[in-house]
Amino acid sequence: MKKVHNFNAGPSILPRIAIENTAKAVLDLNGAGMSLLEISHRSKDFQAVIDEAVALFKELLGVPAGYQVLLLGGGASLQFCMVPFNLFEKKAAYLETGVWAKKAIKEAKGFGEVVIVGSSADKNFTYIPKGWKIPTDVDYFHITTNNTIYGSEIRTDFDSPVPLVADMSSDIFSRPVDVSKYAMIYGGAQKNLGPAGATFVVVREDILGKVSRYIPTMLDYRTHIKEGSMFNTPPCLPIYTIMETLRWLKALGGVKVMEEMDKKKAKLLYDAIDSSKIFVGTVAKEDRSLMNICFVMKPDYANLEEEFMNFSKSKGMVGIKGHRSVGGFRASTYNALPIESVQALVDCMKEFEKQKA
């Protein structure tokens, strides 16, 4: 198998053991004589999978009593409308920190008044807004903790006078989270958990059933809580990989250990960027993401962008091209990325700089 260093932003790198064990289950799930792809989701074999995935999720994230963990289809983008369907009665507040926050705001505006408490759009989302206040007359306050495209991140859990809802699609399990400070946490699986196709929702049950509107059955969180995430056929293969990824994370030592590993990877690359003669970071240093590290060529070297891209590809780097709305480069250093890959990218950058600077 060709050796590459996978910095894709999503779908992204997964633990090798999770991929290998999923591949085995695709051929034969636990000696059942059937593939994971064909076995009934109502069978005891798959029920054991989803039960273990949910149990590991609760254990590793420290989910307290009173919360439910759901594993659903539809992606985080479906949650942009499911959240207001279930929680929005009169008014909601949002923090605008990037494309995905904007998409969530767009959906919420279809339900009533939306207050944007802060925005970093004025500088193309290269920082996290400061000095904002959460209104006390809103039904909930929504944040996006990590901004995959722009490389900024909120890594603290703050107190909120209203139910706090967080899209943690791209940084879940990269740090300990005080779940009790949130009414709801959700996200797509295809960054730190598994393949595209599954969505996780952590929701405090007492916030549900408060809106006066009719909620379509499939969009009502209570439907999925009652049916244990199996009101309809769930995305079985992604859920299996989620289980395997969470097994891997537990074996490593859990979320605190993972956070230290992620910090070391990010520091290694950010230090290389900050000391470089030709590269420069694009995000305010205090708001830099540990998951998506964005940088560009300095103005005097801007004409070398394509040349570096080709050079990095020749060294086995995959997925470091920046999003089309930002340009430059983006190295996604998700949980499963080994520090050896980050070192290889740093070595690649230094070699190129030595030739050009």
Task: Report the sign of the C-alpha dihedral through residues 218, 219, 220, 221, in that order.
Answer: positive
From the candidates 167, 171, 220, 287, which is the catalytic residue?
Answer: 167
171 among known catalytic residues: no
100 among known catalytic residues: yes
The beta strand positions in the chain, using DSSP E, are 5-6, 67-72, 91-96, 113-119, 141-144, 146-147, 152-153, 164-167, 184-188, 199-204, 279-281, 292-297, 317-318, 329-332
Query: Distance (Å, rounded) from C-alpha 317 to C-alpha 329?
Result: 12
248 among known catalytic residues: no
Show the CA angle centred on residue 228, arms to residues 225 and 230, nearest 5°.
115
Q: Characterize 112-148 residue by residue with b for buried, 16 or more Cβ atoms within 10 angstroms of its Cβ, and e for exposed.
A: eebeebbbbeeeebbbbbeeeebeeebbbbbbbbbbb
From the candidates 191, 262, 287, 321, which is the catalytic residue?
Answer: 191
Residue 256's Cβ-count burial label (10 Å; 0-12, 13-18, 19+) is: exposed
Q: Which residues are catalytic?
A: 100, 167, 191
